[in-house]
Structure 1
Amino acid sequence: MVATQALDAGTRRPGRRETEGAAALAATMPRLVLEARRVSSLLAHGLHGRRRAGPGESFWQFRPFVTGEAAVRVDWRRSARDDRLYVREREWEAAHNIWFWIDRSASMGFSSDLAGASKVERALVLGLALADAFVDGGERVGLLGLTRARASRGIVEHMAQALVGDHAGLERDLPPEAQPARFDEVVLISDFLTPPERIAASLASLSAAGSRGHLMMIADPVEETFPFTGQAVLHDPEGGPSLDIGDAGAWGERYRTRIAAHRDRLREIARAQGWTLTLHRTDRPASEAALRLATLVIARGG
């Protein structure tokens, strides 16, 4: 079982566990990429992108030349292929990006017999699927502290490669320090089993320049119900102490009360910054959570 106590990230040092974690991630990433593509395809009909012509650097499409336009807008190389004149249009380069952070710390590796996947695998599938869907809708996507935002057709592979190479990220239970621009969207995917005051400080920092955000809380069904009986010992996967709780059945009610209070506090923190909070259980389909979060991001973007 996962304990809510977490070590300060600054006291950790990469070691054998981090190396093993990176190797395991590299081995499973191809399968997760395929699953993310499948989930992304399910979102395609529900998303309406904001891609449109305008001033910018990224090529969007060719369109027929319209009488009255300036001749300098004609793309003569494309026009030479047939009997029509064509104009090269570029995407609208508004200052709007969508930034992702996907928690890969030790607590995210938990998976019970009731779950469809471990929390980290589900978080990665959700993050990659949403990134693919947003890029397909005309948005630019990046990883906080790892990559620049881009509207690349290969965004899933690009993000997967960056995550596999980010060994330091295995020791981070909150996003790296970053300053997203005003009107940018930030998506944090984690179990958020971190002291609320640290989460509040992180969100305040990310929101300082006017960005908006969304918390996607990943939970194993066992973490919701605590269906244990008899003698039990809880182990903190982040490296903290173990706790002998004695009779798990008697302790369960107190646990459920505390986890509910923790989530209520997270909702307050998110609301104070104008962020949203969505809970996703790993025994539910990934597409369900992806559609919910995509809808929230689109609604925010207007």
Structure 2
Amino acid sequence: MARVRVLSEEARLPGRTETEAALTLAQRMPRLVLEARRVAASLSHGIHGRRRAGVGESFWQFRPFVAGEAAQRIDWRRSGRDDRLYVREREWETAQTIWFWIDRSASMGYVSDLAQASKSERAVVLGLALADCFVESGERAGMLGLMPPRATRRIAEVMAETMVADRSSLEEDLPPQAPIAPLHEAILISDFLSPVRDISAAVEAISSRGARGHLVMIVDPVEETFPFQGQAMLHDLEDGISLRIGDAVSWGRAYKERIAQHRGELEDLARRRGWSMTIHRTDRPASEAALRIMTLVTASRGANPGGR
């Protein structure tokens, strides 16, 4: 039978060592940042090449002037250094910002011996890896309710430091109900075990101005299979209540039906809002979920490059 444990509040911070005083970020959370960097490096090819010329404010490149183009487009300063005429192209700008929300509430501290990592650790690694990839491709990354959008190459360290400094979100199992701009996207990473009506309220608030988003459900393999027999004691990690059951096999069947119903309702919610939903088990590599999310974001941009 699989053994399970629950991480403490301290362990749900994205970095922990024997002391928190006078330690640099690199000392406080090296493992998760390095793991996120590793995942990001293995996936970087998935979004390279998304930057292109078009309407925008950022300089992209110079290219030779083509007969028939408007003369106003010629960059005379650059052309003066050569015998050819050049045009200054600007980068095509679509949705510039990816907003992240990473659940670190009590239920995310759950981990069994069948998993590669706790749900909380996997959520942090996924969030940091995705942020690193998107910033590398020219996007900005922000954290809902915690950090404004940034485009620094140290985005993984900056986000990690923000999470380490913020303890209040350890009690929050739902994202802030704050709308984001139409050309922005949200990536919400959680086990999503809250009532669907509460999750729906948060999703609808975030997307109320037309923004798209992605739900990433993190699950431990034991939560999928419920491999228990005989008597068992179940604990609600959020509310602190317990339930003793006499026949775990029979109870497990009802549990699986309820989980299937809950996920079906979440999938309907995502579909209604034009969002995606990904289920990621912690016994699988983090790169699998990261690649899927990157593919979904890239596909949504390619389907409507000019906006929503």
TM bin (shorter chain): 0.7 to 0.9
Q: Note if contact 1:219-1:279 (Cα within 8 Å) is conserved in structure 2.
A: yes
Offset, 1:187: 0.5
Residue 105 (str. 1) matches residue 105 (str. 2): yes
Q: Note if contact 2:177-2:203 (Cα within 8 Å) is conserved in structure 1.
A: no
Distance 1:103 1:49, change over 3 A: farther
Q: Note if contact 1:22-1:164 (Cα within 8 Å) is conserved in structure 2.
A: no
Counterparts of 1:238 and 1:114 in 2: how far apart (Å)? Answer: 22
> Is the partner of 1:176 in helix, strand or coil?
coil
Equivalence for 1:25: 15
User: 1:226-253 CA deviation, whole Å, 9 max, x = no partner?
Assistant: 0001211101111331111122122111
Distance 1:296 1:115, change over 3 A: same
Alignment of 1:112-131 (within 5 A): 112-131=112-131
Offset, 1:87: 9.3
TM-score computed with the length of structure 2 as normaliser: 0.81
Offset, 1:85: 12
Q: Which moved more, 1:109-118 or 1:126-135?
A: 126-135
1:111 aligned partner, one-letter code = V
Equivalence for 1:149: 149
Equivalence for 2:269: 269
Alignment of 1:156-167 (within 5 A): 156-167=156-167
Offset, 1:255: 0.8
Residue 220 (str. 1) matches residue 214 (str. 2): no
State the number of aligned residues: 281
Counterparts of 1:250 and 1:174 in 2: how far apart (Å)? Answer: 31
1:25 aligned partner, one-letter code = G
User: 1:128-164 CA deviation, whole Å, 9 max, x = no partner?
Assistant: 1111111122222111122222222111111111111
Instruction: Let me know the Cα RMSD of the aligned residues.
Output: 2.9
Distance 1:139 1:106, change over 3 A: same
Distance 1:168 1:264, change over 3 A: same
Alignment identity in percent? 61
Structure 1, unpaired ranges of 5+: 3-16
Distance 1:93 1:24, change over 3 A: closer
Equivalence for 2:25: none
TM-score computed with the length of structure 1 as normaliser: 0.83
Counterparts of 2:94 and 2:37 in 1: how far apart (Å)? Answer: 27
Counterparts of 1:219 and 1:39 in 2: how far apart (Å)? Answer: 19
Q: Which moved more, 1:273-282 or 1:37-46?
A: 37-46
1:210 aligned partner, one-letter code = G
Offset, 1:29: 2.6
Equivalence for 2:193: 193
Counterparts of 2:186 and 2:49 in 1: how far apart (Å)? Answer: 17
Counterparts of 1:241 and 1:105 in 2: how far apart (Å)? Answer: 16
Distance 1:151 1:23, change over 3 A: closer
Distance 1:270 1:55, change over 3 A: closer
Q: Note if contact 1:110-1:118 (Cα within 8 Å) is conserved in structure 2.
A: yes
1:113 aligned partner, one-letter code = D
Distance 1:137 1:49, change over 3 A: farther
Equivalence for 2:37: 37
Counterparts of 1:23 and 1:127 in 2: how far apart (Å)? Answer: 14
Offset, 1:125: 0.8
User: 1:66-125 CA deviation, whole Å, 9 max, x = no partner?
Assistant: 797344x5599xx8xxxx999987655555311111110010010001001000111111
